[in-house]
Amino acid sequence: MAHTYSARSRAIEPFHVMALLARANELQAAGHDVIHLEIGEPDFTTAAPIVAAGQAALAAGHTRYTAARGLPALREAIAGFYGQRYGLQIDPERILVTPGGSGALLLASSLLVDPGKHWLLADPGYPCNRHFLRLVEGGAQLVPVGPEVNYQLTADLVERYWDKDSVGALVASPANPTGTVLGRDELASLSKATRERHGHLVVDEIYHGLTYGMDAPSVLEVDDSAFVLNSFSKYFGMTGWRLGWLVAPPNAVTDLEKLAQNLYISAPSMAQHAALACFQPETLAIFEERRAEFARRRDYLLPALRELGFRIAVEPQGAFYLYADISAFGGDAFAFCQHFLETEHLAFTPGLDFGRHLAGHHVRFAYTQSLPRLEQAVERIARGLRSWQG
């Protein structure tokens, strides 16, 4: 008999960009110089003080499990960071250290979603969110959003899309793929809209720190009962170490701890010891230099793409992505990506990876390459547009 793997695993879509990435690797193996603007992680390696702390942790034998909630010293350091960055007093008891922001998402979905229940999510958005919900037998109610709402859920949209099976809303600020940021008032009205419906507000703050010309407010400034996902991957540049955290209301912590014990026992020990170095002034200075570099890249690539005819309707204030409308050139976004890969050896991500709404005529560029590389990419885009027959 043919195998039947679970319906929940069959319901999960792969990243469509992976097919392009496989082709990009083939082209690279054949000796072509491929420029990668599809990758959603900083091009910088982990900052030296963190690497040194990781090496010291290994040498000291910190190779075992930690407490499920994470090292107390790290939870305190994270709480201290909320004080420093946002002026917030967060009890370290409310913080759980997780394997990446992905681990925090797994905990939050396991805690908050019963079978058949769903969260409202913006479309376009980060695709794994709806997949995590599916894995816990819940689901996503995708809400189409465009430039008119800064590609973000609003209180009005919550009101419009909330139904008897809705249990919460998940928003990301800054968002992937659009880079848009929610202001304090918007967070407060989303909080009010979900609380009025006895639902939960979950805010993905994974790209915090990577904002340009402004700071993103944390939802915890306006709503102490919200769940916050965060990560050492992006601003802290530790993608491969697999470390993140969740801030939860006090009454949720015991249940979350139980889930953590069962789902993954603890976040990686060496990574947790290494991450303690993130909060030293010299390491924070490195992150700030990198933030400034990302800002320079955005300030170069955004006008360059607009000049070439891409429509980027709202200025992205954070993350390292530009979500661009290719309608002016005609044709389908996936074919457009294929064309640039084949003819110009330039990789970027089709809209299909971020949902359904707007997907066929949008692409995402990640400015996770140096400025000289971005300049080469722009030359290739200009040339590739001339040969594109949408």
Contact yes or no for 358/351 (Cβ under 8 A): yes
Q: Which is nearer to ligand PLP, 209 or 384 (CB)?
A: 209
Q: Which is nearer to ligand PLP, 170 or 252 (CB)?
A: 170
Spatial CA neighbour of 355 closest among 126, 173, 192, 153: 126
- Give the H/E segment covering residue 61: none
Residue 179: phi and psi, rounded to 5, are 75, 10
Q: Which is nearer to ligand PLP, 180 or 194 (CB)?
A: 180
Which letter, b or e, does each residue of 28-63 get, where b requires 16 or more Cβ atoms within 10 Å of its Cβ?
Answer: eeeeeebbbbbbbebbeebbebbeebbeebeeeebe
Least distance CB 163 / ligand PLP (angstroms): 25
State the residues that interact with ligand PLP by CB under 6 A: 40, 100-102, 126, 172, 176, 204, 206, 231, 233, 239, 244
Least distance CB 387 / ligand PLP (angstroms): 32
Residue 148: is it exposed, middle or buried by C-beta count within 10 angstroms (0-12/13-18/19+)? exposed
Least distance CB 239 / ligand PLP (angstroms): 5
Q: Which is nearer to ligand PLP, 319 or 377 (CB)?
A: 319
Q: What's the gap between Cα 160 and its chain centre?
A: 26
Least distance CB 128 / ligand PLP (angstroms): 7
Question: Judging by DSSP bridges, how do beta strands 244-247 and 227-231 pair with one another?
Answer: antiparallel
Residue 120: phi and psi, rounded to 5, are -85, 130
Least distance CB 18 / ligand PLP (angstroms): 14
Least distance CB 129 / ligand PLP (angstroms): 7
Q: Which is nearer to ligand PLP, 176 or 369 (CB)?
A: 176
Spatial CA neighbour of 139 closest among 158, 111, 120: 120
Q: Which is nearer to ligand PLP, 102 or 141 (CB)?
A: 102
- CB nearest ligand PLP: which residue? 100
